[in-house]
């Protein structure tokens, strides 16, 4: 049985300001990786720049990461930060994931970058500090880095495993999220916890994290109908996301994540919503005892109740989807080729099962 979590997690108010010594230890120049605007809006970028300036640490800012980042963005970021000693990723999963890819390329050079990120040979990375602004992916504590591959028409995981050295978590950075982002990312964290809990790779330790994440979600879930959430309450969602991140670092995710990728790629459905759509139908093909425990932890009486709740939450922010049966068949065929995800599912799952999950889940959004 194994549990590995090398990331040092610091969660407190004004954590960026109390981390001066950490930044000083990491080097003389930082590359800051962000999306277009959220790092500024959340206040995190301003705080980081203040602290780096105070510590006399030089920096570059690469603020071109888009949602569901393209692989080439890791290349572009690495060019900008090639002389930096470490990388600070600020934002949701997109900038934090890209920061990890950039860290590999800064350490090893940008030539043959596809091979360095996705090839068989292993490559190290310069240190990464992750500062999350969405309570979703858990990327601040996972070794994963997900990119959009325009050649393969899907999302792909980087082959290199890069755990951030530090995760600096301050609830104030999450408060600027619009409701749509908040709902999608909290639902993503919930799916991580559930998928990890029922996974073949789960064990006593990973379940401590996934179960606690589900319990926090269960306790505060009705707040997802509110237009705004007080920091004292929201911190529980933040913790659930990080706990679920630790859990998937041990087990990976499972079928709902794979089923959701085409919805994001072809229909721009936000990542968390794309997974959340499939969770209750997916649980119908999972081991009964596991499902019972998921329902207890998330505080639902039945799978139907869980399903109805998710439809209501997701419909607040998701327009209806029109997807032809032909498309659905194509996505299910792709799913059946994803051996990595299939191996995380306990028992056998057939094409017809996947098709039923897809069709029944989407019925609510037509
Ligand atoms: P995201 O794609 O990073 O961001 C979504 C949107 O939210 C962007 O428009 C972003 O703005 C905005 N935003 C983020 N924080 C905000 C804040 N505090 N205030 C206002 N706006 C804010 O969203 P995400 O769901 O966190 O990440 C999704 C990505 O992570 C996907 O590519 C997914 O595949 C990947 N993922 C990774 C892991 C992992 O373990 N590494 C796990 C699951 C998913 P800006 O563009 O301005 O930043
Ligand atoms: Fe996810």
Per-residue pLDDT reduced to its tens digit, 253-274? 999 999 999 999 999 999 999 9
Q: What is the pLDDT of residue 108?
A: 98
At residue 119, does pLDDT exceed 90? yes
Q: What is the pLDDT of residue 13?
A: 98
Q: What is the pLDDT of residue 151?
A: 86
Rounded Cα distance between 235 and 278, Å, is: 26
CB under 5 Å of ion ligand 2: residues: 188
What distances in angstroms separate CA 111 from CA 81, 128, 151, one per listed residue?
Answer: 14, 21, 19
Q: What is the pLDDT of residue 40?
A: 98
Average pLDDT rounded to a whole number, residues 30-41: 98
Q: Please give the structure tokens belonging to residue 227.
A: 């237009």
Q: How confident is the model at residue 147 (pLDDT cuts 50, 70, 90)?
A: very high
Rounded Cα distance between 77 and 230, Å, is: 35
Average pLDDT rounded to a whole number, residues 143-171: 94
Any atom of ligand 1 within 6 Å of the Cβ of 182: no
Q: What is the pLDDT of residue 346?
A: 96
Q: What is the pLDDT of residue 195?
A: 98
Contact between 165 and 8 (Cβ < 8 Å): yes
Any atom of ligand 1 within 6 Å of the Cβ of 97: yes
The closest alpha carbon to 103, from 75, 66, 122, 65, belongs to 75
At residue 153, does pLDDT exceed 90? no
Strands 146-149 and 154-157: antiparallel
Q: What is the pLDDT of residue 154?
A: 82
At residue 349, does pLDDT exceed 90? yes
Q: How confident is the model at residue 1 (pLDDT cuts 50, 70, 90)?
A: very high
Q: How confident is the model at residue 344 (pLDDT cuts 50, 70, 90)?
A: very high
Half-sphere exposure of 339 (CA within 13 A, CB side): 0
Q: How confident is the model at residue 155 (pLDDT cuts 50, 70, 90)?
A: confident
At residue 113, does pLDDT exceed 90? yes
- Residue 303: how many other CB atoms lie within 10 Å: 17
At residue 116, does pLDDT exceed 90? yes
DSSP code string of 73-128: HHHHHHHHTTT-SEEEEEESHHHHHHHHHHHHHHHH-STTHHHHHHSSS------E
Average pLDDT rounded to a whole number, residues 113-129: 97
> Which atom of ligand 1 is the closest one to the Cα of 142?
40
Contact between 33 and 89 (Cβ < 8 Å): yes
> Which atom of ligand 1 is the closest one to the Cα of 42?
18
Q: What are phi and psi of 33, to 5 degrees?
A: -115, 125
For residue 144, the ligand closest to its alpha carbon is 1
User: 255-267 and 351-363 are packed helices; what angle lies between their axes, rounded to 10 degrees?
Assistant: 60
How far does the centroid of ligand 2 lie from the alpha carbon of residue 291, in Å?
A: 20
Q: What is the pLDDT of residue 271?
A: 95
Q: What is the pLDDT of residue 301?
A: 98
Q: How confident is the model at residue 150 (pLDDT cuts 50, 70, 90)?
A: confident
Rounded Cα distance between 141 and 209, Å, is: 12
> Which atom of ligand 1 is the closest one to the Cα of 136?
26
pLDDT tens figures, 56-78? 999 999 999 999 999 999 999 99
Contact between 74 and 113 (Cβ < 8 Å): yes
Rounded Cα distance between 128 and 108, Å, is: 15
- Cβ burial 292-302 (10 Å sphere, 16+ → b, else e): ebbbebbbbee
**211: Cα separation from own chain's centroid:** 18
> Which strand (E) or helix (H) includes residue 166?
strand 166-169
Q: Quote helix, strand, coil % in the chain, to nearest 5.
A: 55, 10, 35
Any atom of ligand 1 within 6 Å of the Cβ of 191: no
Any atom of ligand 1 within 6 Å of the Cβ of 179: no
């Amino acid at each position: 049985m194994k549990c590995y979590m090398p990331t040092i997690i610091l969660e407190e108010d004004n954590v960026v300001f109390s981390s001066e010594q950490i930044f000083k230890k990491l080097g003389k120049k930082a590359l800051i990786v962000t999306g277009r605007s959220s790092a500024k809006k959340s206040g995190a970028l301003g705080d980081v720049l203040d602290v780096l300036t105070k510590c006399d640490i030089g920096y570059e800012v690469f603020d071109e990461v888009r949602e569901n980042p393209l692989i080439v963005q890791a290349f572009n970021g690495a060019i900008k930060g090639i002389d930096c000693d470490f990388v600070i990723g600020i934002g949701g999963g997109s900038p934090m994931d890209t920061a990890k890819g950039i860290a590999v390329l800064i350490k090893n050079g940008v030539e043959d970058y596809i091979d360095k990120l996705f090839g068989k040979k292993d490559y190290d990375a310069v240190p990464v500090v992750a500062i999350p602004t969405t309570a979703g992916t858990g990327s601040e504590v996972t070794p994963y880095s997900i990119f959009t591959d325009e050649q393969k028409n899907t999302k792909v995981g980087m082959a290199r495993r890069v755990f951030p050295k530090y995760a600096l978590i301050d609830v104030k950075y999450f408060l600027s999220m619009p409701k749509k982002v908040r709902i999608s990312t909290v639902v993503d964290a919930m799916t991580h916890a559930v998928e990890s809990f029922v996974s073949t790779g789960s064990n006593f330790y990973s379940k401590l994290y996934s179960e606690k994440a589900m319990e926090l979600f269960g306790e505060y879930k009705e707040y997802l109908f509110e237009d705004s959430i007080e920091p004292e309450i929201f911190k529980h969602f933040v913790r659930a996301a990080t706990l679920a991140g630790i859990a998937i670092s041990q087990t990976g995710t499972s079928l709902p994540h794979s089923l959701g990728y085409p919805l994001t790629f072809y229909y721009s459905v936000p990542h968390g919503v794309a997974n959340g759509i499939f969770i209750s139908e997916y649980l119908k093909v999972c081991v009964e005892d596991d499902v019972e425990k998921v329902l207890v932890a998330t505080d639902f009486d039945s799978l139907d109740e869980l399903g109805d709740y998710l439809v209501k939450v997701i419909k607040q922010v998701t327009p209806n989807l029109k997807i032809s049966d032909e498309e659905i068949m194509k996505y299910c065929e792709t799913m059946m080729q994803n051996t990595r995800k299939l191996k995380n599912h306990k028992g056998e799952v057939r094409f017809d099962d996947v098709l039923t999950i897809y069709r029944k889940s989407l019925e609510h959004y037509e």
